[in-house]
Chain A
Amino acid sequence: MADLTIFMVLLALGYGFGRYAELKHYKSIIRREKEFRDIPAVTTKFPPLSKAVDAELVSGSVVISVDYFKRFIAGLRNLIGGRVTAYELLLDRARREAILRMKEEARAFDGHIIFNVKLETSSIHKGRKNGVGAVEVMAYGTVLIKQ
Chain B
Amino acid sequence: MEYSNPKIPEGINASTQHPLKEFFLLTGGVLGGVLIVVVVLTLLADRLAVYIPFESEMQLVTRVTDGIPAEGAEPLPIESYLNGLADQIAAEEGLPPEMQLTVHYVDDDLVNAFATLGGHIFMFRGLLEKLPNENAVAMVLAHEIAHIKYRHPIRSMGRGIIFGLAITMVSSTLGNAMTDQVLANTGGVTVLKFSRDQEREADQTALNALYRRYGHVDGADLLFKVLQQQEREGEALQMPEFFSTHPLSEHRIDDIHTFQAEHATATDVATVPLPDQFVAWLIPAETEKTD
Q: Taking beta carbons and an 8 Å cutoff, which residues of A are in contact with B?
A: 1, 3-4, 7, 10, 15, 19, 33-34, 36-37, 39-42, 44, 48, 68-73, 75-80, 83, 85-86, 88-89, 91-93, 96, 113, 128-131
- Tell me if B5 is interfacial: C-beta within 8 Å of chain A: yes
Contact A89 B3, beta carbon cutoff 8 Å: no
B residues less than 8 Å from A92 (CB atoms):
13-14
- B19 proximal to A (CB < 8 A): yes
Instruction: State whether the Cβ of B243 lies closer than 8 Å to any Cβ in chain A.
Output: yes
Known pairs A37-B7, A40-B4; list 11 more (Cβ under 8 Å). Answer: A41-B5, A44-B3, A69-B19, A72-B179, A76-B27, A78-B173, A79-B30, A85-B19, A86-B22, A88-B15, A92-B14
Given A34-B7, A83-B15, does the pair A75, B176 have CB atoms closer than 8 Å? yes
Decide: A75 near B19, CB < 8 A? Known: A3-B181, A88-B14, A113-B3.
Answer: no
Query: Which residues of chain A are within 8 angstroms of B17 by Cβ–Cβ distance?
Result: 85
Q: Across the interface, which residues of A come within 8 angstroms of B173, CB to CB?
A: 78-79
Complex Cα distance, B179 from A77, in Å, reads: 11
Chain B interfacial positions (CB closer than 8 Å to A): 1, 3-8, 13-15, 17, 19-20, 22-23, 26-27, 29-30, 170, 173-179, 181-182, 185, 243
Contact (Cβ within 8 A) A89 B174: no
Instruction: Tell whether A131 pairs with B175 under 8 Å between CB atoms, given A7-B182, A19-B19.
Output: yes
Once A78-B174, A113-B3 are accepted as A-B contacts, the answer to whether A7 and B181 lie under 8 Å apart by CB is yes
Assess whether B15 is in contact with A89, with CB atoms less than 8 Å apart. yes
Q: How far is the CA of A56 from the CA of B20 in the complex (A)?
A: 44
In the bound complex, what is the Cα–Cα distance between A86 and B222 (angstroms)? 57
Residue of B nearest to A7 (CB): B178
The answer on a CB contact under 8 Å between A131 and B4 is no
**Least CB distance, A3 to chain B, in whole angstroms:** 6
Whether A75 contacts B175 by the Cβ 8 Å rule is yes
